[in-house]
Amino acid sequence: MKIYKFGGASIKDSDGVRNLISILKIKKTEKTLIVVSAMGKTTNKFEQVVDNYFNNKNNLDNSLKLVYDYHNQILENLFENANNKINNEIKLIFRNIKEFLKKNKSPNYSFVYDQVVSNGELISSKIICEFLNNNGVATNWIDAREIIKTDSKYRGANVNWEETKRKISENVDLNQLNITQGFVASDNNNFTTTLGREGSDYSAAIIAFCLNARSLTIWKDVPGVLNCDPKVFKNSVLLENISYSEAIELAFYGASVIHPKTLQPLQKKEIPLLVKPFSDPNSNGTKITRGIKINPKVPCFIVKNNLSLIKLSSLDFSFIVEENISEIFQELHENKIKVDLTQNSAISIYLCIEDKYFRLDKLLSKLKAKFKVKYVDNVDLYTIRHFDKNSSKKILQDHNLILEQRTNEVLKLVVKKI
């Protein structure tokens, strides 16, 4: 079996869907399963619907209509003669969402989120399946909620691997093309769950793992895994080969090409991950396999913006030792603040942190009781793997250096834009 994953950008309009079918025709479709994301920015639009439902009911209908109109336009462009079957199916999905929101009594934001936002993938997979069938590519539509089973941690559910493996082998038809949704799963009570934003890559990896797939290909709007974000740096270079561990490091520090959870299941079974451009299906893209050396060997730049750098020092010249450090990390953990870099000396510790949930003020007021606290906000962290002597120059052209840390492979710079 081979698994293909198409992200939202690759199917953002009717041309994208047409391109998908041409890729499938080139690549042959037997023993293939495709995983699709929601089209374009649909997930963001559905997030707005959920937000309006809880916080701004007046805008609810409007925001839902926006999602409908967007898909309706794609339907009109894809099907020359109005295709009543798919039109009705899509209408029914929207009617069900409205019905659900009307009847819902749950105040649980994440629960409602999953029931609503998951529809982006249901819609895209239905439209694409119908289009494939209409164009002579027999396609088996699979409801991801039937095959990926999770706990009830809405918006970031954990996979029940045993049950998922069993369900997948029962539902996938090995003799034809299969299509299912990324991101979407279901819990023991059959409520819809999701795997977290950008989770479609992970869905594809789960399925690849359970089917012992030959390979997983992620079709993207870039030539493959690049050594830096082309939106940030000029002269990006395509990495032709990287190892799983290289890819995990790149993903963990924020290279947004692959969802970080994707790699573990693949690595366990040594299933190659290919990242290819959907605009050039015959190119090699990037191949990620076990133990391979990075090729070409060039510095890889990963940027995280808008972080904070905190310096904690003892109030009385006592040392910062394991006991204080573990206490500090406990506080960070409780406030869901992610630490991207630490550096300590006898009487102080630096922490470069990411405050996703705006808990920093609360944390700092607590720490101030025990430490002298200094703090710089809005810093950027550059992680440069395989750095060379020009790497830091590139960044320090237009940044002030605040902190530098290096091992023989990795250079980290905490900087502030000039």
Instruction: State the residues that interact with Mg ion by CB under 5 A.
Output: 8, 37, 43
* Among 150-158, 193-201, 210-218, 401-409, the segment contacting ligand ASP (CB under 6 A): 193-201
Confirm or reject binding of residue 52 to ligand ASP (CB under 6 A): no
User: According to CB under 6 A, which residues from 358 to 417 bind ligand ASP?
Assistant: none
Q: How many helices (H) and strands (E) does the chain have?
A: 14, 16
Exactly one of 199, 260, 265, 285 binds ligand ASP (CB under 6 A); which one? 199
Encoded one letter per residue, x for contact with ligand ASP by CB under 6 A and - for no contact, window 3-32 reads ----xx------------------------
Nearest-approach distance from CB 208 to Mg ion, in angstroms: 19
Contacted entry of ligand ASP, Mg ion, none for residue 164, CB cut-off 5 to 8 Å set by kind? none
DSSP-derived 3-state class of residue 99: helix
Residue of 235, 175, 169, 412 lying closest to 307 (CA atoms): 412
Confirm or reject binding of residue 125 to ligand ASP (CB under 6 A): no
Residue 399 identity:
H
Nearest-approach distance from CB 276 to ligand ASP, in angstroms: 17
Report the C-alpha gap between 180 and 216 in whole angstroms: 14
Nearest-approach distance from CB 122 to Mg ion, in angstroms: 13
Residue 201 identity:
D
* Sign of the C-alpha dihedral computed for residues 387, 389, 390 and 396 taken in this order: positive
Confirm or reject binding of residue 37 to ligand ASP (CB under 6 A): yes
Contacted entry of Mg ion, ligand ASP, none for residue 182, CB cut-off 5 to 8 Å set by kind? ligand ASP
Q: Residue 199 or 265: which CB sits closer to ligand ASP?
A: 199
For ligand ASP, how many residues bind (rule: CB under 6 A)? Answer: 12
Residue 8 CA, distance from chain mean position:
11
Residue 247 CA, distance from chain mean position:
14
Residue of 41, 96, 99, 31 lying closest to 67 (CA atoms): 41
Q: Residue 194 or 227: which CB sits closer to Mg ion?
A: 194
Nearest-approach distance from CB 204 to ligand ASP, in angstroms: 9
Q: Residue 114 or 249: which CB sits closer to ligand ASP?
A: 114
Interface with ligand ASP (CB under 6 A): 7-8, 37-38, 43, 120, 182-183, 197-200
